[in-house]
Amino acid sequence: MTQEKQKDPTFEEESEEIGGGAEGGQGKRKRLFSKELRCMMYGFGDDQNPYTESVDILEALVIAFITEMTHKAMSTGRQARVQVEDIVFLIRKDPRKFARVKDLLTMNEELKRARKAFDEANYGS
Q: Which is nearer to another protein, 110 or 119 (CB)?
A: 110
Measured from the CB of residue 107, what is the shortest distance to another protein in angstroms? 9
Residue 113's alpha-carbon distances to 66, 120, 122, in angstroms, are: 29, 11, 14
CB of 49 to another protein, least distance (A): 7
Q: How far is the CB of 6 from another protein (least distance, A)?
A: 13
Closer to another protein by CB, 102 or 119: give it. 102
- The helices-and-strands tally (H runs, E runs) of the chain is 6, 0
Q: Which is nearer to another protein, 71 or 115 (CB)?
A: 71
SS3 track for 33-55: CHHHHHHHHHHHCCCCCCCHHHH
Which residues lie near another protein (CB under 8 A)?
8-12, 32-33, 36-37, 39-47, 49-51, 53-54, 57-58, 61-63, 65-72, 74, 80-84, 87-88, 91, 94, 96-97, 100-102, 104-106, 108-110
Cα radius of gyration rounded to whole Å, the chain: 20
Q: How far apart are CA 97 and CA 88, in angstroms?
A: 9
